[in-house]
Amino acid sequence: MALGGCGGGDDRASDASAQLPACAAAKKAAPRPELLPADFPLPPGTRLTSSRLPFEGQAIVEGVTPGGLDRAADFFGDELEDAGYAAGRRDAEPGERESLFTGRDLRGGWRVNDIPNCEGASKLTLVLIRL
């Protein structure tokens, strides 16, 4: 199942580097949850793989995104502000990049992690809370 509209909506979506490697592409796609706005920017080629609603007005969304940690972090750093979200301070540790954000009746955070034995893709986790 393809997830149209999950990317950032720019020309990078057609870039060959926006393709998931086989080790990540095998993950089954999940529908975009209602709490994740249709215009919330996701790196081109991102595939959402799960979402859960631990509490009303909250969602935890997971997926895989092409490229390494820095590429995903740079994408969110560039695109979230343009989409109307204020980014919090970034944090970086070996194998992980993350930041909080607020805006447009939503607050939350994004995190990308290395995927063991899967170079060229990162695990994406979004935590969303409706204000």
3-state SS string over 1-32? Answer: CCCCCCCCCCHHHHCHHHCCCHHHHCCCCCCC
Does some domain include residue 1? no
Decide: residue 57, CB within 10 A, 0-12 exposed, 13-18 middle, 19+ buried.
exposed
Which domain covers residue 74, as residue numbers?
Answer: 11-130
Does some domain include residue 58? yes
Decide: residue 128, CB within 10 A, 0-12 exposed, 13-18 middle, 19+ buried.
buried
Q: How many domains does the chain have?
A: 1
Does some domain include residue 25? yes
Neighbours of 13 (CB within 10 A): 14
| pLDDT value, residue 15 | 57
Does some domain include residue 4? no
Does some domain include residue 6? no
Report how far residue 55's alpha carbon sits from residue 61's, in angstroms, rounded to the nearest whole number: 13
Does some domain include residue 29? yes
Does some domain include residue 77? yes
Does some domain include residue 61? yes
Report how far residue 100's alpha carbon sits from residue 89's, in angstroms, rounded to the nearest whole number: 7
| pLDDT value, residue 27 | 77
Residue with tokens 């081109």: 44
Q: What is the CATH number of the domain that holds 69?
A: 3.40.1000
Residue with tokens 């447009």: 104
**pTM of the full predicted structure?**
0.85
| pLDDT value, residue 25 | 85
- Do 87 and 22 meet the contact criterion of CB atoms below 8 Å apart? no
**Mean pLDDT for each consecutive 10-residue tract of the chain (131 residues)?**
37 62 88 95 96 96 95 95 93 96 96 96 98 94
